């Protein structure tokens, strides 16, 4: 094991959040909320929740204090498109619709990237199924608690979500999969797959409604349960949020039209690199957009991407987040947000929202996380400098009032760890 991994193991079991009060004092508090940025602010925490935030808040005598003098306190960073803790189980490619499979069932709580992302101030992830299918599997929203069992990672407050995919990935024109060629192989076919899945789900829903109308009378035979169609039915009923992998403007418009036809909403267009071309249409539909800051030309359908994408969509009223889709990039999402300031002139506050409260809304948990406000979860990232500074680093990360990453503790543990390849 590397020194970093072994140092992580030393922090494998963070102390459970005590039901007592503590305060974070002296730092610049970037609330990303109604109170804006508070110089020399105080955040008062009781148990797992924020009790109060502001300047000059009275702190009861004897209250433990985290000294953040000269540092910056912001909400825990949220990644709206991740595959951390599920990399080996991310794609069920055997069928074009696999709505019945669930990422939550196969989380790898030992994935060291959980710890590494905590070191980058990330506290919550939307762990998505892959993009091999027009309708893929259901996502898992997790709080990053390195070393804890999978059931303690799952964030129970999050609504259900599912992964859709459009374009090259579901028609598999940019990679090969063992076995015979699978329908569809065109964007036309992807649309037909989606339409047929929703027609079947409508019929399935009617079957169950008709059965329930009989009052489950003696002798009545219940329809056969189908977990795949149940999930698609729940999309129609607004119980499952759609996260749609896409790139090109034509396929974005196609899914908007299809969603309008069947009466559901796309919650988030993921990647959405040509979103700037149809930003008004995305805004009118009410969808969010979770995009890369400056990735393009890594495949044909990403050719027309621009780093101004986030700023253009935001200017048209779209809720925009910047995501990683990468265990490595997730550790530096605060710098990804800074690029929105450079490319398009987004304000610093709005750019920070793109990695906090905006992705919280996209996942459906904005009432609990994404900003520093009374009543919300005590999830924080404490930086040595402003998060957009080139020398910024995370000193402390908290999840629901518990310290889950402490740079000082990490550094102090390293001398006791043998170097990779050294004596064991």
Tell me what pLDDT residue 421 has: 57
Number of H helices, E strands in the chain: 13, 17
- Give the architecture-level CATH label for domain 77-369: Alpha-Beta Barrel (3.20)
Q: CA–CA separation, 178 vs 198, rounded Å? A: 28
Q: Which of 78-82, 126-130, 170-174, 293-297 has the lowest mean pLDDT?
A: 170-174
Q: CA–CA separation, 21 vs 51, rounded Å? A: 9
Measuring CA to CA, how many Å separate 143 from each of 148, 156, 308? 10, 10, 30
Domain residue extents for the chain:
3-75+382-416, 77-369
Tell me what pLDDT residue 187 has: 95
Percentage of the chain modeled with pLDDT above 90: 84
The residue with greater pLDDT, 13 or 232, is: 232
Q: How confident is the model at residue 83 (pLDDT cuts 50, 70, 90)?
A: very high
Q: Which of 277, 369, 284, 368 shows the shortest CA–CA distance to 319? A: 284
User: Over the stretch 383-402, which tens digit does the pLDDT of each residue have?
Assistant: 999 999 999 999 999 999 99
Question: Do 77-369 and 3-75+382-416 fall under one CATH topology?
Answer: no
- pTM metric for this prediction: 0.93
Copy the structure tokens of residue 120: 């980058």
Mean pLDDT, all residues of the chain: 92
Q: How confident is the model at residue 324 (pLDDT cuts 50, 70, 90)?
A: very high
Q: 400 by DSSP, 3-state: which?
A: coil
Tell me what pLDDT residue 422 has: 53
User: Over the stretch 89-100, which tens digit does the pLDDT of each residue have?
Assistant: 799 989 999 999
Percentage of the chain modeled with pLDDT above 70: 93
- Alpha-helical (H) ranges within 316-367 are 333-342, 348-353, 357-363
Q: How confident is the model at residue 403 (pLDDT cuts 50, 70, 90)?
A: very high
Roughly how many angstroms between the first and final C-alpha of the chain, as a whole number?
Answer: 10
Q: Which of 214-218, 239-243, 318-322 has the lowest mean pLDDT?
A: 214-218
Tell me what pLDDT residue 178 has: 67
Decide if pLDDT at 294 tops 70. Answer: yes
Q: Which residue has the tokens 């149940």?
A: 230
Decide if pLDDT at 16 tops 60. Answer: no
The residue with greater pLDDT, 3 or 290, is: 290
Decide if pLDDT at 15 tops 60. Answer: no
- Name the fold adopted by 3-75+382-416: Urease, subunit C; domain 1 (2.30.40)
Q: How confident is the model at residue 245 (pLDDT cuts 50, 70, 90)?
A: very high
């Amino acid at each position: 094991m590397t020194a970093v991994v072994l140092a992580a193991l030393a922090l494998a079991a963070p102390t459970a959040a005590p039901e007592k009060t503590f305060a974070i004092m002296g730092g610049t508090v970037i609330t990303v909320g109604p109170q804006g940025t508070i110089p020399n602010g105080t955040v008062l925490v009781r148990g797992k929740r924020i009790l109060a935030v502001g300047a000059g808040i009275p702190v009861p005598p004897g209250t433990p204090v985290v000294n953040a003098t000269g540092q910056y306190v912001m909400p825990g960073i949220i990644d709206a498109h991740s595959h951390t803790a599920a990399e080996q189980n991310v794609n069920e490619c055997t069928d074009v619709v696999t709505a019945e499979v669930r990422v939550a069932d196969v989380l790898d709580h030992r994935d060291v990237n959980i710890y590494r992302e905590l070191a980058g101030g990330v506290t919550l992830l939307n762990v998505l199924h892959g993009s091999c299918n027009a309708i893929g599997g259901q996502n898992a929203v997790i709080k990053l608690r390195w070393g804890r069992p999978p059931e303690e990672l799952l964030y129970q407050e999050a609504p259900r979500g599912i992964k859709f995919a459009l374009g090259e990935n579901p028609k598999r024109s940019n990679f090969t999969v063992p076995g015979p060629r699978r329908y569809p192989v065109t964007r036309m076919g992807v649309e037909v797959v989606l339409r047929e899945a929703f027609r079947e789900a409508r019929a399935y829903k009617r079957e169950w409604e008709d059965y329930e109308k009989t009052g489950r009378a003696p002798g009545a035979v219940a329809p056969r349960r189908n977990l795949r169609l149940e999930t698609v039915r729940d999309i129609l009923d607004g119980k499952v949020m759609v996260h749609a992998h896409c790139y090109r403007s034509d396929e974005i418009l196609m899914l908007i039209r299809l969603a309008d036809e069947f009466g559901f909403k796309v919650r988030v267009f993921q990647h959405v690199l040509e979103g700037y071309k149809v930003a008004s249409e995305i805004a009118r539909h009410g969808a969010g957009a979770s995009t890369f800051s400056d990735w393009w030309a890594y495949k044909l359908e990403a050719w027309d991407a621009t780093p101004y994408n986030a700023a253009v969509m935001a200017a048209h009223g779209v809720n925009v987040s910047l995501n990683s889709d990468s265990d490595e990039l997730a550790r530096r999402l605060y710098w990804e947000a800074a690029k929105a300031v450079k490319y398009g002139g987004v304000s610093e506050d709005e750019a920070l929202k793109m990695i906090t409260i905006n992705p919280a809304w996209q996942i459906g948990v904005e009432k609990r996380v994404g900003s520093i406000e009374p009543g919300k979860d005590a999830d924080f990232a404490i930086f040595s400098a402003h998060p957009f500074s080139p020398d910024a680093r995370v000193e402390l990360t908290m999840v629901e009032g518990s310290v889950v990453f402490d740079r000082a503790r990490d550094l102090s543990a390293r001398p006791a760890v043998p170097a990779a390849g050294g004596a064991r």
